[in-house]
Chain A
Amino acid sequence: MLHAFLRHTRRACCGMMAATLAVGCTNIDCPLDNVVAMTCGLYQAGTSQVHTLADTLTVSIAGSKDTVLLNRAIGLKSFQLPLRYVTGTDTLLFRFASSAGQSATDTLFVTHNAAVHFDKPDCPAGVYHQIVQVRHTSHPLALMPLTIDSVYVSNHNVTYEDLENLRIYLRAVVEH
């Protein structure tokens, strides 16, 4: 009886081996970079069309002189900014500068909740954010003919998903 059982099992084991080998080579789907960043899209205030930066934009952290998140970017339609790992309000300085030598700075206040997130032991943990509120300042267009007009939160959850979180509407001087 034992041999009969083994004989039946022999074929089944071969099938199991094939199945095991087929599914045994699993790959680990971990994000390449475990830093989660907020995606900001630029739009024109009047037309709501995508805005391409013609002037340079530098984003830095308030209270820090040497921490620059985006350095003199030009020609961008969107960009990513990291948020702080602890819950609170991040103060980000948006400095616009033109080739004519004009410059001005607007401030963006992003209030968010931060929480550690993990997927599996194979992948390093990350920090997810939930955007609660966004406020901003605008400068007079006489200083620099490009400023933040309004900000709209299009997706509150900042995760590994590559989704736009903020829609930043820019107002520019219309030259006649």
Chain B
Amino acid sequence: MKTWRISVFICVLWSSISLSLPAQTERPRPRPMPAQVQPSRGSQTDSVRPGQVRGIQYTAAIDSLIRRPMPRISSISVGFDLAGAALAQLSNYGSYQVRVNVGLRGRYFPTAEVGWGTSDRDDETTGIHYSAKAPFFRIGCDYNLARDLRAPGRILVGLRYGFTSFKYDMSGPALQDPVWGDVVPFAFEGMKGRMHWAEIVFGLEAKLWGFVHAGWNARYNLRLSQKGDPHGQAWYVPGFGVNDGHAITANFFLSFEW
């Protein structure tokens, strides 16, 4: 619940900042056309009707620029997830991850992501402690939906395949048999787990300045298979999130693109 509160807080904060900024880049409203001057009878008139041409038309030139083919390798980018790192510091779980992608003609972005997921949680009610730390790997591809491939902003949808092999610990108060009175310790360390999963990604990305880009993405993670200890499955899986069959996660990447 704490994590959801933090994510809601971040969203509210982000929205309030963006809403409070003046919309300077909004397109200026077209000025009203001056009233058409009716030519007096007998005077010379232009062959083009009044009001048909309203300035210099750049449409053809822009279209030709947009349609100009992008180079085969249009960009190389290295990014770092700031949201995951903040969660790792502020909440029970998070991840530090690096993303590398290559732009192919500005449309396709084969992507590899490597990270280190970490979780350390003590539940106040049950007194159970859970911890897991392990690397994770993802590969996939993003597709740029933007019409103008040369624009500094991108609208990305993509797929990922993720994998991790990890160890997790779980411990808590000893269990007392209510009938026979036996006391059974509850402490397991170094339990092994593995998971494969798939992700559907949607995100926005924009050029901030120079080669610095920023963007966020939201992901729907679907568990494909997992292996865990017979005593119980892992609660948090590095790279996947809370292990509940599926998970929704989000990232905020700061990236450097050449």
Give the interface size bracket for B toward A.
35 or more
- A114, A118, A126: most-surrounded residue (chain B CB, <10 A): A118
Closest B-chain residue to A125, C-beta based? B186
A4–B153 CB distance below 8 A: yes
Stretch at the interface among B16-24, B28-36, B67-75, B107-115: B16-24
Residues on B with beta carbons closer than 8 Å to the beta carbon of A26: 1, 4
**Nearest Cβ distance between residue B195 and chain A, in whole angstroms?**
16
B63 at interface, CB cutoff 8 A: no
B46 at interface, CB cutoff 8 A: no
**Total count of chain A residues near the partner, CB < 8 A:** 43
Residues on A with beta carbons closer than 8 Å to the beta carbon of B58: none
A84–B180 CB distance below 8 A: yes
A141 at interface, CB cutoff 8 A: no
**Nearest Cβ distance between residue B180 and chain A, in whole angstroms?**
5
Stretch at the interface among B37-45, B47-55, B126-134: B126-134
Stretch at the interface among A5-13, A50-58, A147-155: A5-13
Determine chain B's interface SS by DSSP, over half rule: mixed
A31 at interface, CB cutoff 8 A: no
A82–B178 CB distance below 8 A: yes
- Select B207's contact among A1, A3, A7, A119, beta carbons within 8 Å: A1
A163 at interface, CB cutoff 8 A: no
Residues on A with beta carbons closer than 8 Å to the beta carbon of B165: none
A16 at interface, CB cutoff 8 A: yes
A86 at interface, CB cutoff 8 A: yes
A132 to B24 CA separation, bound complex (whole angstroms): 75
Stretch at the interface among B96-104, B135-143, B227-235: B227-235
A5–B206 CB distance below 8 A: yes
Q: Which of B198-217 contact A (CB under 8 A)?
A: 204, 206-209, 214, 216
Stretch at the interface among A17-25, A71-79, A93-101: A17-25
Q: Which of B167-220 contact A (CB under 8 A)?
A: 170, 172, 175, 177-180, 182, 184, 186, 188, 204, 206-209, 214, 216, 218
A2–B232 CB distance below 8 A: no
A117 to B23 CA separation, bound complex (whole angstroms): 56
B126–A124 CB distance below 8 A: yes
A114 to B185 CA separation, bound complex (whole angstroms): 12
A3–B231 CB distance below 8 A: no
B245 at interface, CB cutoff 8 A: no
A120 at interface, CB cutoff 8 A: yes
A127 at interface, CB cutoff 8 A: yes
Q: Which residues of B contact A (CB under 8 A)?
A: 1, 4-5, 7-8, 11-12, 14-15, 17-19, 21-26, 121-123, 125-126, 128-130, 152-153, 170, 172, 175, 177-180, 182, 184, 186, 188, 204, 206-209, 214, 216, 218, 230-233, 235, 248, 250
26 contacts between A and B (CB under 8 A): A3-B23, A3-B24, A3-B25, A4-B25, A5-B153, A6-B17, A6-B21, A7-B23, A8-B206, A12-B204, A14-B15, A17-B8, A17-B12, A19-B218, A61-B179, A84-B177, A84-B182, A86-B177, A115-B231, A116-B184, A121-B130, A122-B123, A122-B126, A124-B172, A125-B175, A125-B186
Having A35-B178, A115-B231, A119-B232, one finds 4 other A-B pairs with CB under 8 Å, namely A17-B15, A85-B180, A86-B184, A127-B184
